[in-house]
Amino acid sequence: MIRRLSGWLRAQLEIRGSTRGLAISRLMLLGIVMYRVLVPMHAAWVVPPAAKLISILLVLAAFLAFVGYRTRFTIALVVVLFGVVHLHFGLIEGDGKLARGVQLFQALIALSLTPAGKSFSIDRWLEVRRARARGLDPPPEEGPLWGVWLFAIALSCLYFWAAVDKLDPAWFAGERLDRLWIFGYGSSDAFGRYPAILRLGASVSAYAVTGIELGLAIGLLIPRARPYMPILGLLLHMGIWAFLGVWPFTISCLACYPAIASPRAVHRFFDGLRAPPERDLPSSSRAPVVALRVLGFLLFLTWCSQGPARRMLETRETPHKKLARDVLGTPWAANILKTDSVPACDITYYRRVDGEDRRIRHWRQFPYDPRKHQSISLRRVTRHKLPSHTRALCQKLQRRHRRAHIDIRGVIRCPTDGAWELVEDGARNLCEKPDPNARRRSQRASAREKTPE
């Protein structure tokens, strides 16, 4: 059993194949880096002088890696420069714009350890040119594919920890998706307009997303199932892209899937040729190469898991917690796990007439133009704005119905500590002015009850 497992591990670490999928991932990932160098990593946007210099160098390195010139060196240089900006100026110094891109940084590390420059690159063009000048056949577009495991490990860890973060009743009830919907498309009255559709959609989506993430976390680590995982991954991330965006996380994950897809299928997709035959390394060189690759696997697995694990540890009080904060400064945050958004309330108002509650389409009382950014303050009512919003509604309805007294009830919930909290249950009239002496009379009544006769 042990010998069989050892043979399987050795075969996975020594496998070779077409490098075209890795090259496509290189083009996509470096394209994302160059776009991020425009905003927010451009030298004109970052403040520290050192960050400006690094940004300029990052532009040059990313362009050379994109076109595939001295690919191994230029990708490694991109990793170092991007890492300094992302880790030091972003996470440690606290610049939120530069801190984004956790998955992108992990993918760049994996890319730097692969032969991504052997296809669709200047290096490949020069290699073919040299071979033809010597009268030889062009070398095959192949290389060691053990680095594909790094992409699979990074994505598997990401999906696993993201699914673990969703294993709570609030997620499966659709409550966390409720808040994402209010933030992205709806408003504080969205569930008053389409209650059944939105609540059913949120609940079904919650189960579907969690199931797909768990399936990807397991399937990416199974070599026979891995070629089919891009289908699930594309379905998941295109849905996220269409409804939420989540830049640059979504496109960074999608850029990893050409490297994970079947090398033979990717090669045939471009020119219909069969993948080059696999070649075995000399037996004398296998042992040190395999040992180094195993060490790389372990280090990369530790890197991919440390963010979520650290987040869980930081929620507990430990004697070393303060010391770690003093030494490291601002603790790093596992940004990939945060799925909450602007704390807007979910509001449904009713007008009570002759003992019957009639729902008020209060969004018609406060019309907003979704094309204008200023309208966000009107369609998203946070908890601290709730009293003034309710008071304005009461005054408007009193003028409309020409009545000084009007009975308005509300079923209102607002997010508190990541969960919905019922603020109003429809039991009281929200338009009734509070009696300034009511509290004093209540205190006197309770005092009389406690006084012995």
Instruction: Please spell the DSSP secondary structure of 135-192, one letter per residue.
Output: T-PPPPSEEE-TTHHHHHHHHHHHHHHHHHHT-SHHHHTTHHHHHHHHHHT--TTHHH
Q: Which residue has the higher pLDDT, 192 or 9?
A: 9
Which range scores top for mean pLDDT: 1-10, 211-220, 260-269, 412-421? 211-220
C-alpha–C-alpha distance, residues 98 and 100, integer Å = 5
- Note the pLDDT tens digit of each residue in 54-72: 989 999 999 999 999 999 9
Share above pLDDT 90 across residues of the chain, in percent, rounded to a whole number: 29
Mean pLDDT along residues 7-31: 89
Name which residue leads in pLDDT, 390 or 419.
Answer: 390
Work out the percent of the chain whose per-residue pLDDT is above 70: 73
Residue 182 in this model has a pLDDT that exceeds 60? yes
Average pLDDT over residues 161-188: 78
Q: At what angle do helices 71-83 and 102-112 cross, to 10 degrees?
A: 150
- Residue of 397, 399, 404 whose CA lies nearest to 433: 404
Q: Is the full-model pTM beyond 0.95?
A: no
When pLDDT is averaged across residues 138-145 and rounded to a whole number, the result is 90
If you ran DSSP here, which 8-state letter would residue 75 be given?
H
Q: Which residues pair with 424 in a beta bridge?
A: 412
Would the pLDDT of 325 be above 50?
A: no
Which carries the bigger pLDDT value, residue 184 or residue 208?
208
pLDDT of residue 212: 94
In which region does residue 68 sit, left (phi positive, over 0), alpha (psi from -120 to 50) or beta (all else)? left
Q: What is the pLDDT of residue 326?
A: 46
Helix axes 20-38, 71-83, angle to 10 degrees: 40
Mean pLDDT of 321-336: 41
> pLDDT tens-digit profile of 274-288?
444 445 445 444 556
Instruction: Give the per-residue pLDDT at 205.
Output: 87
What pLDDT is stored for residue 129 in this prediction? 93
* Average pLDDT across the chain, whole number: 79
Cβ(430)–Cβ(357) below 8 Å: no
Span 16-25, pLDDT tens digits: 999 999 999 9
Per-residue pLDDT at 392: 86
List pLDDT tens digits, range 112-127.
999 999 999 999 999 9
Tell me, what's the pLDDT at 324?
A: 44
Q: How many CA atoms lie within 13 A of 288 on its CB side?
A: 3
Highest averaged pLDDT of the listed ranges 94-108, 207-221, 419-433: 207-221
Q: How confident is the model at residue 92, as a pLDDT?
A: 84
pLDDT number for residue 12: 83
Q: What is the pLDDT of residue 13?
A: 82
Q: Mean pLDDT lowest for which of 28-37, 305-314, 431-440, 444-453? A: 305-314
Q: Which pLDDT belongs to residue 364? A: 65
pLDDT at 9: 80
pLDDT on residue 91: 82
Q: Which residues pair with 359 in a beta bridge?
A: 350
More reliable by pLDDT, 166 or 279 = 166
The whole-number pLDDT of residue 432 equals: 83
Note whether 335 and 387 are within 8 A (CB): no
Q: Band the pLDDT of 98: cuts 50, 70, 90.
A: confident
How much is the pLDDT for 193?
A: 64
- In the chain, where are the structural domains located? 13-272+286-314, 346-450
Residue 150 reports pLDDT greater than 90 = yes
pLDDT computed for residue 440 by the predictor: 63
- pLDDT single digits (tens) 330-370: 333 333 344 445 678 888 888 888 888 888 876 666 666 55
Whether the bond into 248 is cis, omega within 30 of 0:
yes
- Are residues 442 and 425 in contact, defined by beta-carbon separation less than 8 angstroms? no
Mean of pLDDT values over 435-453? 61
Element (H, E) at 424: strand 419-425
More confident residue, 298 or 43: 43
Rounded to an integer, the average pLDDT of 132-153 is 91
